[in-house]
Amino acid sequence: MCHGARGPGAVLLRARRSGETKPMLNRRRFLATTAAVGATLAAPAVRAQSRQTIKIGLAPQQATQAETRKVWEPIYKIVADRMGVGLELTVANDWAGISVALASEQIDATQMGPWGYVLARAKGEARIACTMLVNGEPTYRAVIVARPGLKIEKWPDDARGLSMQMLDVGSTTGWMVPTHWFRQRGLEPKTFFGRYAEGASAAAAQVAAANGQVDLATGWDIHRNTMIRNGTIKADSNTVVWQSDPLPNEVVAVRRSFSEEMRVALRDALVGLTDEQKKLLPWPYTGFVPGTHEPYEVLEKMGRELGVLKA
């Protein structure tokens, strides 16, 4: 900024030259004028920043937070450019943290698992922008795998009394979907299986079944296929003995007070990625489609019937 004789400082300078006897008054004028100028410049900048920066939060989908950022930041930079806004990308320590951040409106949008989205909608009025595509499909399946050599001819009868490793109770496919399936048939997993455990990570459960540490383990097809592709387990390391009906995929969801205009702009930017840009997506993601809540109502129903989602 130019500080010439026409600036606010000229008021005090002229006062001293003319011998005025009210220096404090002139000082007050100087400070007031400076504050007004500062406010005039700063306020629009603050407002512009709040309007023109989108805050994206991600859970650590890859092995580390740094790897998650490396994988997804290029995609969201493209999206932000398409929207004409700046980007502030944050990677949380866990899935729970990112759900809390969206519900408390610390972030504008995030990628969430389907059950996480249902909970965020129930607790924080989150809204869906897109459904994520995996190998071109907007759905995936829960699976139960068996250790090598275990023969299951009739399901679930032949599984009675075997050991079962389920995932955390917050998992869509690793706990809620299979638990609901059993209870709908009058079977309580904790007593149906001979040794029952909850709380394993998805990877640990797959490996436990592959190593014969447990007879059965829950999970989901996309994750299992990713582990096979990455060489963590082999295709015949364990066997899929049950799978659910198709379930709606992960979503991109936005916070409660995110404007509808911005939600649509985010949706259109994600859906409008070019084939070349989609190559930046980590396997097995292949794109995005506009999302509605309707496909996720089946998970709401399951949650209510299991008592983990209030009506």
Peptide linkage before 284 cis (omega within 30 of 0) = yes
pLDDT average, residue stretch 65-84: 95
What are 72's two structure tokens?
């997804």
| Residue that is last in its domain, among 211, 244, 277 | 244
Q: Rounded to an integer, what distance in angstroms lies between the CA atom of residue 270 and that of residue 272?
A: 5
Whether the per-residue pLDDT at 26 is higher than 60: the answer is no
Same structural domain, 147 and 215:
yes
DSSP state of 107: S
Grouping H, G, I as helix, E, B as strand and the rest as coil, residue 176 is helix
CB 146 within 8 A of CB 163: no
CATH number of the CATH domain containing 269: 3.40.190.10
Whether residue 125 is contained in a domain is answered as yes
Which residue in the block uniquely carries the two structure tokens 């629009």? 44
Q: In degrees rounded to 5, what are phi and psi of residue 265?
A: -65, -40
Whether residue 32 is contained in a domain is answered as no
Peptide linkage before 290 cis (omega within 30 of 0) = no
Same structural domain, 131 and 253:
yes
Q: How many Cα atoms sit within 13 Å of 50 on the Cβ side? A: 8
Same structural domain, 163 and 289:
no
173: nearest Cα among 268, 234, 247, 70: 247
Whether the per-residue pLDDT at 14 is higher than 90: the answer is no
Q: Domains in the chain: how many in total? A: 2
CB 226 within 8 A of CB 134: no
pLDDT average, residue stretch 155-170: 95
Reported as a single tens digit per residue, the pLDDT across 257-286 is: 999 999 999 999 999 999 999 999 999 999
Same structural domain, 134 and 277:
yes
> What secondary structure, in 3-state letters, does 221-272 show?
HHHHHHHHHHCCCCCCCCEEEEECCCEECCEEEECCCCCHHHHHHHHHHHHC
Tell me what pLDDT residue 170 has: 80
Whether residue 64 is contained in a domain is answered as yes
Which domain covers residue 297, as residue numbers?
Answer: 53-139+249-306
Task: Write the single-letter amino acid at 3.
Answer: H
| Residue that is last in its domain, among 193, 210, 244 | 244
Reported as a single tens digit per residue, the pLDDT across 177-212 is: 999 999 999 999 999 999 999 999 899 999 999 999
Reported as a single tens digit per residue, the pLDDT across 99-123 is: 889 989 999 999 998 988 998 999 8
Same structural domain, 146 and 135:
no
Q: Rounded to an integer, what distance in angstroms lies between the CA atom of residue 208 and that of residue 166?
A: 11
Which residue in the block uniquely carries the two structure tokens 């209510």? 304
